[in-house]
Chain A
Amino acid sequence: MACTICGPKFSLCALVLSVWGIIQLTLMGVFYQIGAVALLEDLPMEEGGHHSITDFIAQVEDGYTQNAHNCWIAALLYVITLVVSGHQFWMNNRASVSM
């Protein structure tokens, strides 16, 4: 079959990874959006470059929004992998059934 690129095992792996990725990255995006303190350590910070508290807060808030967007974009990329691997998995299954 021309449409199958990867085997049944690989497609299953990719499927599971995509589901996991979508769930976790979406949730992480939400947590970044609401500014969860637990994720503060992961924000990009310039060392000692803050002149005032407002500066600092602005930078942190900016980091939170950017990371939230990045997480959501990555989750979207996983949606694509989910579709592709799901299709592959389905094709593989059908192929093995028809045999």
Chain B
Amino acid sequence: MGAMFRSEEMVLCQMFVQPEAAYVSMYELGEAGIAQFRDLNPHVNDFQRRYVSEVRRCSEMERKLRWVSAELPEPPPPPKPSPRILSPREINILEERIDYIESEIHEITKNAQNLKTDYLSLIELKILIEKTQTFFQDHSAHRKISASVQVYNNEGALGHLGFIAGVVATPRVASFERMLWRISHGNIFFKQAQIEEPLKDPITGHELQKTVFVVFFHGEQIKFRVKKVCTGFQATLYPCPATYKDQQDMLAGVGTRIKDLEIVLEQTENHRRLVLANIARDINTWMVAVRKEKAIYHTLNMFSMDIIKKCLIAECWVPRSDLPLLQRALDDGVKTSGSPIPSIIHQVPTQEIPPTFNRTNKFTRGFQNLIDSYGIASYREVNPALYTIITFPFLFAVMFGDMGHGLIMTAFAAIIIILEKRLAKQKTDNEIWNIFFGGRYIILLMGLFSMYTGLIYNDVFSKSLNIFGSSWRNVYDNATLMKHKMFDLDPAVAYTQTPYPFGLDPAWQFASNNIIFLNSFKMKLSIIFGVIHMAFGVTLSVVNFKFFKKPQMIFLQYLPQILFLLLLFWYLCILMFLKWILYSTVATDPVYGSACAPSVLITFINMMLFKDSEVRPPCDAFMYDGQKAIQRTFLAIPFLCIPVMLCGKPVYQILVKRRQSQSVEGGEVEKMEEDGIGEVMITQAIHTIEYVLGAVSHTASYLRLWALSLAHAQLSAVLWQRLLRMGLGGGSPVMAIPLFFLFAVWAFFTLAILVLMEGLSAFLHTLRLHWVEFMSKFYEGQGYAFLPFSFSVILENDDEDVKEKPNGGPPQ
């Protein structure tokens, strides 16, 4: 009980564990996630620690598994739950198996690459022969060359024209040709043809653009040089027969070899797929096992050895309520290892500030995150997240009040929550979706509260619901109604004097002074909510003072602060209530007639400035008897509170110190204390100024509740009037078609602008109201978070790591 009220009590524990039992105990603790271990050898290099070789072994296995999983054609299935810890023998078997798999896949990949390289060169050769045939036969002009080449090749030295054929990358062709022309002084003949369909690089799988070329030249010298250039440009040369018949023979030979290779390639691919499919079933389970293993040894590295090297000493922060769990984990470790010596837990009293740990569930986690992103609570200070669960959705809804939009939001959140389990399984790195999913319960509450405030404001997509029957009635006869477009409704006559039972009267939807009325109402409402919210925040500081045993602060800080806030700003709220209750159009006393109702704001300003308001004949200057005296008192007391806030704490500290130094002994300590007091004075002055100015500016800041609510209501009204009304022109049934389309457009804008954008802006303003206006009154936020050693956290973080930096190349 009361887990949310403040963070849990933490204990610093020292554990003496036998090395044999430590492994099993750590496994259990990792599953439970209850202990935050402290590094006891902070000065020891990572490579000099005790379990370096184990950690390295696990890293190696992890790397291999990552490489293998990158080779998988599709994402492997999620890991199977393994409730049991792996014994050292099983780990060894797993390691061997991973080694074997890795080398096997490596081999297969290499073979496949070799085969593909062969295949590529064969294809190139085939294309080359096909192209060169056209080079040789195309034009009659080339016949001569062809003829002389044949002569040269067949008869040896008779002709002097030789040729070289090959394939070169297309982007290199231009420079290749130029280079050839240069080295031969223009004495060569260069023919080229681009290969239309791109080839595939056997290693990277990228597409290659290649060009077939044939160089005709004259003489051995040039042939030599041409070959050199070819190697320089990484051109692949192929032996190409010169006669047509030889070419045909070679083409046929190449064709059969290509077919054979295709079959072999297909078989290799099938084999590879089979092997990978076999691995895919288990790979994630192995990965989890290996990561857990690594995490355990990593934690064990933080432990220190005792002098005789017989047992490990660990220090950890544990929530007090989880101590039995810790004890059980250690006992299990001892039992499993069969060691005769039990592990010992020993609580260490310490001056150190423990980490802050708020136990959350899926419902409270979102709210706790809102608070934690401002600052982690100091150890055991009041946790505002508990109150945020109600105040956050409520203040949001005050700005977002609309039944329709609230319903959409509720439906969205409800769907996510109903499908929660299924959605939680499919992890995505879509950040926006993750934010929505993490805050699903916040969104649900925000939606529900918005529906409620929507009912109060009587807004459903800017239309009012007339559920109980309006309290206003028509007082004009038909003849008058025919003459004018606008009518004044005097509340004395047209209002039935019984208010509409729930929320705003629907008659206001048609009033031309609708906005003026709503503004006055919502402004007052937001100030009232604001003052209550802030007074609650100030009061929460009492709980902190009591808990941290500083009762004097209640008188020195809380009382002056709350008096300042209540006497000035709650009095403003009381004036509002008085105005609502006292003044009426049907009042018998003209002093309390609606014409005499004073402006609350002006009354308040006059109170601050000691001015008297103007008196118009039937009216009274004040709302009640003795108002002037009360206001003077209410103004005087807060001003007297300021010096108390300013000097109370420093004076108290001086007095305490003096009493101490009297009882112990004064002397040279005096000087140092002077310094301390000066600092305290300055901080206290800052705090006081901040609070006093803050009380004014924060109260005004709550007016954003009114401003956003007004903007939201107006936007939704405009959207309906400008868009949907076009489709509601009546007329023939054909008008239903534009209505059909306009509704879609209207729905889109309702969703995009009113629900998403306005929702976001209202959310941010609510967040600000909590962080700045509410929490600044009592929240310190100087703590640090409790980060227990937990497998689930480690596994999740590792997943993110992998996504950030995809695994490196294959092992060398």
Report whether chain A binds chain B.
yes
Tell me if A85 counts as interface (CB < 8 A to partner B).
Answer: no
Chain A hits for B736, CB < 8 A = 69-71, 73-74, 77
Interchain CB contact under 8 A, B728 and A21: no
Q: Which residue of A lies closest to B731 (CB)?
A: A66
- Which of A2-10, A41-49, A90-98 makes up part of the contact surface? A41-49
Q: Which residue of B lies closest to A48 (CB)?
A: B485
Question: Per-residue CB proximity of B63-76 to A under 8 Å, as 1/0?
Answer: 00000000000000
Tell me if A58 counts as interface (CB < 8 A to partner B).
Answer: no
Chain A hits for B482, CB < 8 A = 50, 52-53
Tell me if A83 counts as interface (CB < 8 A to partner B).
Answer: no
Tell me if B515 counts as interface (CB < 8 A to partner A).
Answer: no
Task: Tell me the dominant secondary structure on chain B's binding face.
Answer: helix
Tell me if A25 counts as interface (CB < 8 A to partner B).
Answer: yes
Interchain CB contact under 8 A, B743 and A74: yes
Tell me if B573 counts as interface (CB < 8 A to partner A).
Answer: no
Give Cα A38 to B464, complex, Å.
6
Give Cα A78 to B744, complex, Å.
10
Q: Which residue of B lies closest to A65 (CB)?
A: B730
Interface residues of B in 224-246 (CB under 8 A from A): none
Question: Per-residue CB proximity of B396-437 to A under 8 Å, as 1/0?
Answer: 000000000000000000000000000000000000000000
Also in contact, A38 and B506, with CB within 8 A (given A43-B728, A44-B729)? yes
Name the contact of A71 in the complex, choosing from B465, B509, B737, B739 (C-beta under 8 A).
B739
Give Cα A21 to B464, complex, Å.
19
Interchain CB contact under 8 A, B744 and A77: no
Instruction: Name the residue in A38, A40, A63, A77 with the highest tally of chain B Cβ atoms < 10 Å from its Cβ.
Output: A38
Chain A hits for B82, CB < 8 A = none
Interchain CB contact under 8 A, A66 and B730: yes
Interchain CB contact under 8 A, A38 and B466: yes
Task: Tell me the dominant secondary structure on chain A's binding face.
Answer: helix
Give Cα A62 to B730, complex, Å.
9
Interchain CB contact under 8 A, A70 and B506: no
Question: Per-residue CB proximity of B457-487 to A under 8 Å, as 1/0?
Answer: 0000001111000000000001001100000
Q: Which residue of A lies closest to B461 (CB)?
A: A24
Chain B hits for A78, CB < 8 A = 740, 743
Chain B hits for A37, CB < 8 A = 466, 506, 510
**Closest approach, in angstroms, between the C-beta of A45 and any C-beta of chain B?**
9
Tell me if A67 counts as interface (CB < 8 A to partner B).
Answer: yes
Name the contact of B744 in the complex, choosing from A21, A38, A63 (C-beta under 8 A).
A21
Interchain CB contact under 8 A, B740 and A67: no
Tell me if B725 counts as interface (CB < 8 A to partner A).
Answer: yes
Give Cα A77 to B739, complex, Å.
10
Interchain CB contact under 8 A, A77 and B725: no
**Closest approach, in angstroms, between the C-beta of A79 and any C-beta of chain B?**
11
**Closest approach, in angstroms, between the C-beta of B686 and any C-beta of chain A?**
53
Also in contact, A67 and B728, with CB within 8 A (given A38-B465, A50-B482, A53-B482)? yes
**Closest approach, in angstroms, between the C-beta of B486 and any C-beta of chain A?**
14
Tell me if B349 counts as interface (CB < 8 A to partner A).
Answer: no
Name the contact of B740 in the complex, choosing from A42, A44, A74 (C-beta under 8 A).
A74
Question: Per-residue CB proximity of A23-65 to B under 8 Å, as 1/0?
Answer: 0110000000000111111111000001011000000001100
Chain B hits for A50, CB < 8 A = 482
Q: Which residue of B lies closest to A31 (CB)?
A: B463
The size bracket of the interface on B is 20 to 34
Interchain CB contact under 8 A, A20 and B740: no
Interchain CB contact under 8 A, B743 and A70: no
Interchain CB contact under 8 A, B747 and A21: yes
Question: Per-residue CB proximity of A12-26 to B under 8 Å, as 1/0?
Answer: 000001001100110
Give Cα A86 to B298, complex, Å.
52
Interchain CB contact under 8 A, B733 and A20: no
Chain B hits for A39, CB < 8 A = 463, 728
Name the contact of B728 in the complex, choosing from A36, A42, A53 (C-beta under 8 A).
A42
Also in contact, A74 and B739, with CB within 8 A (given A17-B744, A21-B744, A38-B506)? yes
**Closest approach, in angstroms, between the C-beta of A95 and any C-beta of chain B?**
16
Tell me if B735 counts as interface (CB < 8 A to partner A).
Answer: yes
Give Cα A98 to B744, complex, Å.
32
Chain B hits for A43, CB < 8 A = 728, 730
Give Cα A87 to B121, complex, Å.
50
Interchain CB contact under 8 A, B733 and A70: yes
Chain A hits for B510, CB < 8 A = 37, 40-41
Give Cα A38 to B481, complex, Å.
19
Give Cα A74 to B747, complex, Å.
14
Give Cα A74 to B725, complex, Å.
14
Q: Which residue of B lies closest to A62 (CB)?
A: B730
Interchain CB contact under 8 A, B728 and A70: yes
**Closest approach, in angstroms, between the C-beta of B442 and any C-beta of chain A?**
22
Interchain CB contact under 8 A, A70 and B463: no
Also in contact, A44 and B730, with CB within 8 A (given A17-B747, A38-B506)? yes
Q: Which residue of B lies closest to A14 (CB)?
A: B744
Interchain CB contact under 8 A, A77 and B740: yes
**Closest approach, in angstroms, between the C-beta of B647 and any C-beta of chain A?**
60
**Closest approach, in angstroms, between the C-beta of A65 and any C-beta of chain B?**
9
Instruction: Name the residue in B465, B482, B740 with the highest tally of chain A Cβ atoms < 10 Å from its Cβ.
Output: B740
Also in contact, A20 and B747, with CB within 8 A (given A38-B464, A39-B463)? yes
Interchain CB contact under 8 A, A70 and B466: no
**Closest approach, in angstroms, between the C-beta of B173 and any C-beta of chain A?**
42
Give Cα A62 to B510, complex, Å.
21
Give Cα A74 to B728, complex, Å.
11
Q: Which residue of B lies closest to A52 (CB)?
A: B482
Q: Which residue of B lies closest to A77 (CB)?
A: B740
Q: Which residue of B lies closest to A32 (CB)?
A: B728
Name the contact of B743 in the complex, choosing from A21, A41, A63 (C-beta under 8 A).
A21
Chain B hits for A66, CB < 8 A = 730-732, 735
Chain B hits for A40, CB < 8 A = 510
Chain B hits for A77, CB < 8 A = 736-737, 740
Chain A hits for B724, CB < 8 A = 42
**Closest approach, in angstroms, between the C-beta of A2 and any C-beta of chain B?**
26
Chain B hits for A63, CB < 8 A = 730
**Closest approach, in angstroms, between the C-beta of B693 and any C-beta of chain A?**
45
Q: Which residue of A lies closest to B477 (CB)?
A: A53
Also in contact, A53 and B481, with CB within 8 A (given A38-B466, A38-B509, A73-B733)? yes
**Closest approach, in angstroms, between the C-beta of A19 and any C-beta of chain B?**
10
Chain B hits for A25, CB < 8 A = 739, 743
Q: Which residue of A lies closest to B478 (CB)?
A: A53
Interchain CB contact under 8 A, A42 and B725: yes
Q: Which residue of B lies closest to A37 (CB)?
A: B466
Interchain CB contact under 8 A, A36 and B466: yes
Interchain CB contact under 8 A, B733 and A69: yes
Interchain CB contact under 8 A, B731 and A44: yes
Give Cα A76 to B744, complex, Å.
14
Give Cα A15 to B223, complex, Å.
72
Interchain CB contact under 8 A, B743 and A67: no
**Closest approach, in angstroms, between the C-beta of A8 and any C-beta of chain B?**
14
Give Cα A16 to B736, complex, Å.
20
**Closest approach, in angstroms, between the C-beta of B537 and any C-beta of chain A?**
40
Question: Per-residue CB proximity of B487-512 to A under 8 Å, as 1/0?
Answer: 00000000000000000001001100
Interchain CB contact under 8 A, B730 and A67: yes
Interface residues of B in 700-745 (CB under 8 A from A): 721, 724-725, 727-733, 735-737, 739-740, 743-744
Known: A41-B725, A66-B730, A71-B736. 17 other contacts (CB 8 A): A21-B743, A21-B747, A37-B510, A39-B463, A39-B728, A42-B728, A44-B731, A63-B730, A71-B739, A73-B736, A73-B739, A74-B739, A74-B740, A74-B743, A77-B736, A77-B737, A78-B743
Q: List 5 A-B contacts (CB under 8 A).
A: A17-B747, A37-B466, A38-B463, A42-B724, A70-B730
B interface list, Cβ under 8 A from A:
463-466, 478, 481-482, 506, 509-510, 721, 724-725, 727-733, 735-737, 739-740, 743-744, 747
- Kindly list the 3 A-B residue pairs having the minimum CB-CB distance in the complex, ordered from nearest: A73-B736, A66-B730, A44-B730
